[in-house]
Amino acid sequence: ICSRLQRNREQQEAALPQLTELLTQLRGAAAAKALRGLRLNRLTLELARLLLWLYSVPAPERELTLAEFLSRRFGNWYDKLMELPEKYPDLHNMEQLHRIRIKLKRFRYALQSVPELAPEASLLRSLKYLQDMLGLLHDDYINTMMVEKLVAAHPKIKELRYEAALFSGWEQAKADAALEALPQQWEAFSSQLTEWKNKNL
């Protein structure tokens, strides 16, 4: 975002230098922490849990054909997705929207890994667009809180308050546009998903 603001300024002086420096430090610390957390034994544990789950699936589930199993699982998934607007009705509650985004992301990854169900490109595009829109809203929410904490933590940097306001204003404009388009995008996705379900499940 800081880079985009820099490109959109008519003057050539650096845009948001104080904020950029602080955010770069935070990103470096977060990247180092993430790399420290990657361990082969953790990945092996996840695979072991998956295998244990596969072997513990009840017998009736194992006796289903692949088509029956996929139809049952994705049918249940479809029902839960269609209930999301009622379960999480507040479009201004970013925690609720984040939960919706996680559920959509998991569904898209699962759908893309099952060619037997023939997901159409238009459905996947609609799903990805909706997921990206919700991601943008969540990013704005998280970024706003992070920038507010930075400003509070560095009261002696006078320029930081101005830079934070410029940064947040840029983010908020995109978030407002996404929030306005969200209901219509959800309706389009729901329609495509129902059409796919009727054809394939």
Tens-place pLDDT, residues 106-123: 999 999 988 888 888 999
Bigger pLDDT: 47 vs 104: 104
Residue type, 162: Y
pTM of the complete model: 0.77
CA–CA separation, 83 vs 80, rounded Å? 5
Residue type, 91: L
Question: Are 119 and 111 a contacting pair, CB within 8 Å?
Answer: yes
Query: Interhelix angle for 121-153 vs 94-112, to 10°?
Result: 140
pLDDT of the residue at 60: 64
Mean pLDDT of 150-158: 94
CA–CA separation, 80 vs 153, rounded Å? 42
Question: Are 123 and 196 a contacting pair, CB within 8 Å?
Answer: yes
pLDDT of the residue at 113: 87
Bigger pLDDT: 6 vs 134: 134
Mean pLDDT, the chain, whole residue set:
88
- Going by C-alpha positions, the residue among 102, 124, 126 that lies closest to residue 112 is 124
Question: Are 2 and 15 a contacting pair, CB within 8 Å?
Answer: yes
Is the predicted pLDDT of residue 85 greater than 90, yes or no? Answer: yes
pLDDT of the residue at 93: 94
Residue type, 123: L
CA–CA separation, 96 vs 90, rounded Å? 7
- Going by C-alpha positions, the residue among 145, 129, 141 that lies closest to residue 186 is 129
Give backbone dihedrals phi and psi of 156, rounded to 5 degrees, phi first: -80, -15
Is the predicted pLDDT of residue 195 greater than 70, yes or no? Answer: yes
Question: Are 151 and 163 a contacting pair, CB within 8 Å?
Answer: no
Bigger pLDDT: 98 vs 14: 98
Tens-place pLDDT, residues 5-63: 777 765 555 678 899 999 999 999 999 888 887 677 777 888 888 888 877 766 666 67
